[in-house]
Structure 1
């Protein structure tokens, strides 16, 4: 019992050292860990991720191949490491573009109000009338498969939530004393929005973006799984899951390890969102 208490005390001390926010600490460690893996993949990957060795097909995990090999004889461990680069890129870029568009639209709608607000809100209502994933698939089908099409689809569909969050904050903040003082001093609309309102209105959107990164990651993997995202033989976790589904009963490792990678990174972003919200005092 004493041993358990002392171990808990040591663990609590470590958390206090890192800011006392367990969720933020765990999430940051997971995401940063995958970021380090992505940056060092060329150095730590034991094999070329697209190199095929017909003599090493479907080997189970072992010393030479820690995660086994796939049906083309490619090393699954190397492909998981290299896949981190693509999936982290999907997570970050798939959030940044909608965030920028949504924050701008929300700030304009909330600040000017009236007809401008009504028109922009009606556009949002039209986009919301269609299921998110169906609309994404339709845009990608029109543009053609590939990461560029995925990013464009995310930018055209994913900005809605950010626009609504920022608009609701700007509607309140534009009547605050600092905003009224800025208008009294004759500052222009762009300066008031860019330097006074947006920095105070986007905290909720920053926290939401961490949760949104989970959705973007899963959508990116799903799109690649359907053959509309990253194209083979590029190493990407969604493609690896799709390629291994036909061998799930005989070579489970082809699907299991990239699936675990997707879940772990998604959990990292989820913990990061919870911890960041607690740290900033923001509720999504």
Structure 2
């Protein structure tokens, strides 16, 4: 029997030895698997109407019940995982890339560039995150595209501040001075030596930020600015079932539990990564 290489064994042991990281990764992988296999794991068509079965309580045929259009809630939760995972994962990548790039350049170059970048971040941070994002989406129009644009325009500032603070410390370190003395270019020093060492805090925040993006994505869909009906999305499902909470509690309860479980998975992964990086530092 062949064994894994030493490096792969070490990484696997590192993940499995951290309970929070392993549990969070397990929750995320479970939702990813359900989302990828939605055509086979969902028992019914999430858009199929059946007025005769409307507002059916959870039973052996419809485990999560049906909504006010007779659609199977379990199937809509599974298909909704595709949209909400896309919102939380893709929605956090753009701010991460933009923010780390701006923060790295501002911290390394300094001077007027640094001052300008930090003043822009101060202006954006002066407004509540969700309010500013909603204002941008109202101007652009509802939909996934406007959500990603709003998140990119608002969410990069935290990554920029984190990366800038790390670069300011690292650019005066011994290995950075040695790289300069060897005649390395500024681009090589910044992106091959400084930035990889400055990303630890941003990586931890990346996982925590995925929770915020997930909740904001559900919130804007709840308000009618995000994913539009009849597409299955957890925030939209909660909005559709809020008026029936006393008579058909299952319509919004199960999507709400799905949001909580996925958010918990991201939070546990963030805690586990923070513990591992803290032990290595």
Determine if the TM-score, normalized by the shorter chain, exceeds 0.5.
yes
Q: Which moved more, 1:236-245 or 1:46-55?
A: 46-55
* 5+ residue gaps, structure 2: 1-12
Aligned to 1:252: 249
Query: Is 1:45 paired with 2:63?
Result: no
Alignment of 1:71-220 (within 5 A): 71-220=68-217
Cα offsets for 1:180-221 (capped at 9, x unmatched): 122222222222111111110011100111111111000000
Change (3 A) 1:282 1:153: farther
* 5+ residue gaps, structure 1: 1-15
Q: TM (normalized to structure 1)? A: 0.92
Q: TM (normalized to structure 2)? A: 0.93
Aligned to 1:261: 258
Aligned to 1:238: 235
Q: RMSD across aligned C-alpha pairs, in angstroms?
A: 1.4
Cα offsets for 1:50-93 (capped at 9, x unmatched): 11111111111111111000000100000000000000001101
SS of alignment partner, residue 69 of structure 2: coil
Aligned to 2:67: 70
Cα offsets for 1:134-168 (capped at 9, x unmatched): 10011000000001101100000001110011001
Taking the aligned partners of 1:192 and 1:38, their CA distance within structure 2 comes to 41
Cα offsets for 1:90-132 (capped at 9, x unmatched): 1101110000000001101110111111111111111111111
Taking the aligned partners of 1:42 and 1:231, their CA distance within structure 2 comes to 21
Aligned to 1:3: none
Query: Is 1:272 paired with 2:272?
Result: no
Residue 54 of structure 1: which of 27, 48, 51 is its match? 51
